[in-house]
Structure 1
Amino acid sequence: MNMKVLHVAETIKGGVASVLNQLISSQNEIEICCILPDSQADEIYNNKKILLKQFQRSGRNIKSLLALANVFRVTLKEFKPDIIHLHSSFAGVICRFLLFFMPLDKKIKVIYCPHAFSFLMNVSSFKKYVYSFIERLLSLNTDAIICTSNYERNMAIQYGLKKDKLFVVYNGIQEPIVNIDDDINPFDSHKINILYVGRFDYQKGIDILFDIINAAGTKYHFTLVGDTVHDSFNRPELASVTYTGWLNSKQLAKYYKYADVTIMPSRWESFGLVAAESNSYGTPVIASNSSSLPEVVVDGATGYLFDLNDFQKALDILNIKTKEDWNSMKEKCLSNYIEKFKSSDMISNVERLYKKIKQ
């Protein structure tokens, strides 16, 4: 499949970096250019000849967004892609808005993956209306929109986006790392070890997590991988909590491998990457039953779901489950990953979409 693809991201922290790395490493017959922040360029595993175009990002501010817009404008003229693949809302807004004012060859196709539409957020009805209006307007400059779950696609339809532009592609999860550097159990084997991976913010339910931590007994230990990104959060220093900061996939592998269970109290997600990653190591997940998470976590088989308004249920589940109970779910977790979330499936689906819109 000989073509030129321009990937654009305003930030690649977290799931976007994982998806980008998988696509880049597999698209051997595609000439690739990536626009991304200079401070995050080392998160792309440039194991083949790809062109990196970087912009200065000092946060989510006018200066950074203008820098992205300028690099996009220049790169579009110089690289002349067949497909523009936009990742996340801010890149989607900035770049598709610019396309209204730039003469674009009709042969160039635009794919947009919001990695969670803004109208999925827990905000006022008015804000949801504004966000959905912007998405409907910008969809005029979009040939295909990748939704990472059926939930996200259904919500997009509900907010007025055209069905024929919406395609569901589950995020792919790379095969679990087998040869782990420093493969030593990082946990106290006398405790039930609960892993959290993600930003410390409202969307990810960090406040709900600490409600659970504060109510849990001494037989549990919580390891929190991640940090704040946009929100501010004062980290309580507790004997039952270990903070690791952000870890790359190689560093994170042993935490997924040796944890008894992963917890994911998110208020909204477009997919649930952490849950799928956890399953790839055979580790079950306790997750909220919000948004797309019931598509990723099979209640009673690969983990358990609880209502956001009833964190006591999460505690009840923890209190009745032993290490042996969690370990007994391993095979179903692995099967769930293999059947639904393999990296090769995502890559094939994205490449099929490239071909479809280029016809």
Structure 2
Amino acid sequence: MKNILLVTRNFPPLTGGMERLNLHLYFELNKTFYVSIAGPAGCREYLDADTQYHEFPHRPVAAFLFYSFWATLRLALRKRPDIIIAGSGITALSARLVGYLFNAKVITFLHGLDIIERHPIYRAFFFPAIRASDRILVNSNSTARLAVSQRVAAHKIKVIHPGVRIPLENIFNDKGGDFRTTFGIPEDTAILLSVGRLTERKGLVEFISHSLADIVKAHPKTILVIIGDEPSNAFRHKTGLKNKILKMVKKDKLENHVMLLGHVTEHTLEAAFKVSQLHIFPVIDLPNDIEGFGMVAIEAAAYGLPTFAFAVGGVPDAIADNVSGYLFQSDDYQSLTENIIQFIIGSKEHEGITQESCKHHAAKFSWILFGENVSKECHELLQ
């Protein structure tokens, strides 16, 4: 089997969508290649016993950049990789330099934030390394268009959607009722669920301001449950969004209709998906922060839960309109609000979206399929 070296800052024990993607990338490629990992401190706990690895600090930035290159170089000396994969744009420079030294092919996973980053050092050194990669894998058609707009060669780009863990059928025998009991939510209360890191682009402050009060007025027994915390390890994101949400809730007198749970266990998250009426994803269009894909919409669909979202960034790649949810024009809070109300009260207009239609859509995004697609790109590159 051929050797692959994966160098990435985005890997457990750090958490988030990109971290899950790189973890499953390792799992899937390890089926047909020898995969070694240059990853953040603590990553060894998530690797097979026979996997070669080298850890580096994920911050501060200067230490990360130096030691991630050193870790990549040391592993390359030991393993002589046929392919080096950069898990994101920030590791593309190390991958490209070491790939050049060892005559290895280089693949870079490019995410939306990798493309819009404006730091002059990043633009001067990392972007040329990205463009010089042999293959660029992106998570959505929106990210592909962004990459082309920044002079990444279109023929190098391949769209491969991230995957999702498909729940076993027997998991649906437990309807998640313990979630309501644990958090004191009555059976007759409609749960609007929001899952993901608390960042500005998620649009929760705006959703509470423009939509939630009207939804509660039309259907008083409604609660917005927010699962997720502010990012603690990201380079760029600011904190303080939780306080903004709490201030907006207090301003609109919605204290009894919003619940912030922060980080929860996988069991609690599953229970929330199973017991909620719908998942909201009111992402806003920010020039310096974009939603590359919207993996959480696929996760919700895997549990039969539809997503109502704005058609921003890569979100349309994750939601099948009228099948696994509804897409609305950016900032059209009136349509979003009206449709959420109609869905909650059980309007016939929305009977086409069912648990089965959501699950069927999610099945197209399994991690196994993701792994097969990436493996195919690796084999073609080696040929």
TM-score grouping bracket, smaller chain normalisation = 0.7 to 0.9
Which residue number in structure 2 is paired with residue 124 of structure 1? none
Question: Where does the alignment leave 5 or more consecutive residues of structure 1 unmatched?
Answer: 122-126
1:274 maps to 2:296: yes
Instruction: Decide which of 187, 190, 193 is 1:192's aligned counterpart.
Output: 190
Q: Measure how far apart 1:120 and its partner are.
A: 4.7
Note closer, same or farther for the CA distance 1:341–1:128 as it changes in structure 2 (3 Å cut): farther
Q: Give secondary structure in 1 for the equivalent of 2:192.
A: strand
In 2: Cα distance, 1:97 partner to 1:83 partner: 10
Contact 1:175/1:280, CA 8 A, preserved across alignment: yes
Equivalence for 1:257: 274
Match of 1:243 among 260, 273, 278: 260
SS at match of 1:319: helix
In structure 2, relative to structure 1, the CA distance for the partners of 1:343 and 1:57 (3 Å cut) is closer
CA contact (8 A) 2:308 2:325 kept: yes
Tell me if 1:289 matches 2:285.
no
CA spacing shift, 1:129–1:103, aligned 2, 3 Å: closer
Superposition deviation, residue 286 in structure 1: 0.8
Tell me the distance in 2 between the aligned counterparts of 1:79 and 1:85: 14
Query: Counterpart of 2:79?
Result: 79
Identical columns (%) = 21
Is the alpha carbon distance of 1:64 and 1:130 closer, same or farther for their aligned partners in structure 2, counting shifts above 3 Å? closer
Q: 2:372 is matched with which residue?
A: 348
- The answer as to whether partners of 1:177 and 1:253 remain within 8 angstroms in 2 is no
Partner residue, 2:356: 331
In the TM superposition, what whole-angstrom CA distance separates every residue of 1:280-333 from its partner, at most 9, and x where no partner exists? Answer: 111100111111212221222221122332323222221121265678522221
User: Cα distance, 1:277 vs. partner?
Assistant: 1.1
Q: What does residue 224 of structure 2 align with?
A: 222
Q: 3-state DSSP class of the match of 1:174?
A: coil
Q: Does 1:311 align with 2:333?
A: yes
- Residues 21-50 of structure 1 show CA distances to partners (whole Å, capped at 9, x for unaligned) of 3333333232122222225655x3x35632
Correspondence list, 1:199-218, <5 A? 199-211=197-209, 212-217=211-216, 218=220
Structure 2 counterpart of 1:150, which letter? Answer: N
CA 1:306–1:224: 2 relative to 1, 3 Å:
same
Q: Is the CA contact (8 Å cut-off) linking 2:189 and 2:221 kept in structure 1? A: yes
The alignment status of 1:147 with 2:138, answered yes or no, reads yes
TM-score (norm 1): 0.85
Q: CA deviation at 1:198?
A: 1.1
> Deviations for 1:166-199, whole angstroms, at most 9, x for unmatched residues?
0111112121255659874213321111111111
Partner of 2:54: 53
Amino acid at match of 2:152: L
Structure 2 partner of 1:231? 238
The DSSP-based 3-state class of the residue aligned with 2:85 is: strand
Q: Which runs of 5+ in 2 are unaligned?
A: 232-236, 250-254, 285-289
| 1:25/1:47 contact within 8 Å kept | no
Q: Judge conservation of contact 2:112–2:146 (CA < 8 Å) in 1.
A: no
Matched, 1:28 2:28: no
Q: When the two structures are superposed, what TM-score results if normalisation uses the length of structure 2?
A: 0.80
Q: Which protein is richer in helix relative to its size?
A: 2
Whether the 8 Å contact between 1:281 and 1:334 is mirrored in structure 2 is yes
CA RMSD of aligned residues (A): 2.9
Give the 5 Å matches for 1:101-116.
Answer: 104-106=101-103, 108-116=104-112
SS state at 1:203 partner: helix
Residue 160 of structure 2: aligned partner: 169
- Structure 1 residues 307 and 165, CA, compared in 2 at 3 Å: closer, same or farther? same
